[in-house]
């Protein structure tokens, strides 16, 4: 598990939601903010659709070369890889950084939407106290209602007219609970393939997962990611949990699911696996790596048993 971090916002960090329903509402304020950042020599990361990119380009002219642009359809593919990439960008540059983004919401299922809402919340823990301003655009005409409803809970500030206001409904990320977080994990649709592991068995466990994923038709690069994730979680159980555990594997038709159980495991840190371990940390990489590699990681601790469920789509 990763070392504790302050999950509150503070210092120069600002996370501002920008709901709008036309190009004349709020977006001119964002463009002015970008212009001021350019004039101040700040780094700017713009990850939006082409429409807003063109508005910014028209306003900046030749200065558009000073803006780092990432196309939204390529940037917002996986919430925690996007989080990691944004973190790496901000860590690689000195001075104040302005990030302007517009996540994609259309076509996402309930589970995927929930993780992108959580992504917006975790940003507050990742950059709290750092010299970063993030402005998140939400087109009220196309953004799903449940996403709009969570904006005040995931953003400490929001732009209305010409002014930024504090959100009275804001919830720190380590306290945010979304629908489904407290529900028990669903049972496998059929009896799963199961195995036990203990110290010295991790090599055999990796081969068991590889063989199962191959039979399920998973691509080899995905198998590498899944096996690495299972190995990291199982090693954590051996080293820091009960010293042994079990794995169950099944296929839904759309994905392979691997669930690792640790009869002595606990979750003793907030936001497990959502934040990158500090560079000097000796541990804490297992869940972080798994969230980066897998499509979804679910964790439940009940009755003294820790269950970590890894999902990987079949593509």
The pair of structure tokens assigned to 57 is: 């380009």
Q: State the pLDDT at residue 315.
A: 83
Residue spans per domain, the chain: 14-175, 193-313
Alpha-carbon dihedral 288, 292, 293, 297, rounded to 10 degrees: 70
Euclidean distance between CA atoms 132 and 167, whole angstroms: 19
- The CATH homologous superfamily of the domain defined by 14-175: P-loop containing nucleotide triphosphate hydrolases (3.40.50.300)
Q: State the pLDDT at residue 8.
A: 28
Q: Splitting the chain (315 residues) into consecutive groups of 10 residues, what average pLDDT does each group show?
A: 31 90 95 96 96 97 97 97 96 95 95 97 95 97 97 96 94 95 88 94 96 96 97 91 93 94 85 87 83 96 91 93
**Domains 14-175 and 193-313 agree in fold:** no
Euclidean distance between CA atoms 175 and 290, whole angstroms: 22
Architecture of the structural domain at 193-313: 2-Layer Sandwich (3.30)
Are 37 and 16 in contact by the 8 Å Cβ rule? The answer is: no
């Amino acid at each position: 598990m990763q070392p504790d971090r302050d999950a509150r916002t503070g210092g120069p960090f600002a996370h501002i939601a920008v709901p709008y329903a036309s190009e004349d509402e709020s977006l001119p304020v964002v463009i002015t903010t970008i212009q001021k950042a350019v004039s101040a020599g700040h780094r700017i990361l713009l990850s939006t659709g082409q429409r807003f990119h063109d508005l910014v380009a028209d306003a900046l002219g030749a200065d558009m070369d000073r803006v780092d642009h990432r196309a939204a359809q390529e940037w917002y593919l996986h919430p925690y890889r996007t989080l990691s990439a944004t973190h790496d960008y901000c860590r690689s540059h000195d001075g104040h950084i302005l990030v302007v983004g517009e996540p994609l919401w259309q076509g996402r299922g309930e589970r995927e939407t929930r993780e992108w809402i959580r992504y917006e919340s975790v940003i507050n823990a990742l950059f709290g106290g750092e010299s970063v301003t993030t402005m998140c655009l939400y087109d009220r005409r196309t953004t799903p209602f449940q996403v709009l409803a969570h904006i005040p809970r995931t953003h400490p500030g929001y732009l209305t007219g010409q002014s930024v206001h504090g959100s009275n409904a804001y919830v720190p990320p380590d306290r945010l609970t979304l629908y489904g977080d407290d529900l028990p994990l669903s049972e496998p649709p059929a009896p799963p393939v199961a195995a036990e592991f203990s110290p010295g068995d991790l090599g055999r466990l990796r081969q068991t997962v590889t063989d199962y994923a191959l039979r399920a038709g998973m691509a080899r690069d995905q198998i590498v990611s899944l096996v690495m994730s299972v190995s990291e979680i199982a090693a954590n159980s051996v080293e820091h949990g009960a010293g042994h555990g079990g794995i169950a594997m099944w296929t839904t038709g759309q994905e392979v699911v691997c669930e690792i159980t640790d009869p002595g495991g606990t979750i003793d840190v907030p936001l497990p696996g959502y934040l990158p371990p500090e560079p000097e940390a000796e541990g804490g990489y297992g869940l972080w790596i798994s969230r980066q590699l897998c499509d979804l990681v679910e964790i439940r601790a009940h009755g003294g048993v820790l269950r970590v469920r890894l999902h990987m789509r079949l593509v």
